[in-house]
Structures are given as structure tokens and as C-alpha cells.
Amino acid sequence: MNEESKLKRRMLEKQQQLYQQQMMQQAAGQQHAINQQLEMLKMIMTEILEPKARERLNNLKMVKPDVATQVEIYLAQAYQSGQLQQKITEEQLIAILSQIEGKHSFKITRK
């Protein structure tokens, strides 16, 4: 009976190791996909933004990364759907930022 319990324990350990390996491979695959998407987004931003607009967006990433990501996704979708006819200037980017930040701002009034 002692040999049987050792065998069961070894089998359980092997199953756990196999499961951990599968989870690690899956996580690595997901990380690779995320890295590819981020690289693609970076290439699109380089293609559609003028240098000053790209600099402004990079500065925004340091202060408000969530807003910058929203802007990047918005611009990438517009680019992929063919809505962008020319490069985005800094002034146009500022207008887009004000629209996006306007959606998130709220005002608290006290009575």
C-alpha cells in the first residue's frame, strides 16, 4: 500500500507539472500576441501622426496612460476603416483629446 501511495503521489506531481507547463506556454503565447498588437499600434501611430502630435501623445502616455491608450485605439480604428485622409496634426490631436476627456469629466455640485 505504501508503494501505491507513492505512485499516486508521483502521478499527481507529474500532472501538476504538466498543467503548470501548459499554463506557462499559454501565458507566453498571450504575451506574444499582446506585444505584436502593441508593435502594430506603434507603427500605425508613426504612420498617421505628425512628429509634434506623436510627441504630445507620448507625453500624455506618461501622465495619463489610459487616456493615451484610448486615443491610440480610436486613431487606429479610424485609420483601419479609411477615415483618415492625411496625417494628424498636433492641433487635431488636441481636439480629439478634448473630445475624449470631455466624455470622462464630471462635475460635482453640492447643495
pTM above 0.85, yes or no: no
Is there a domain that residue 111 lies in? no
The domain containing residue 8 runs over which residues?
2-104
3-state secondary structure 53-107: HHHHHHHHHHHCHHHHHHHHHHHHHHHHCCCCCCCECHHHHHHHHHHHHHHHCCC
Identify the residue with better confidence: 107 or 52: 52
Spatial contact of 93 and 57, defined as CB atoms under 8 Å apart: yes
Span 25-37, pLDDT tens digits: 998 889 999 999 8
CATH number of the domain enclosing 60? 1.10.8.140
88 lies in some domain: yes
| C-alpha to C-alpha distance for 31 and 37, rounded to whole angstroms | 10
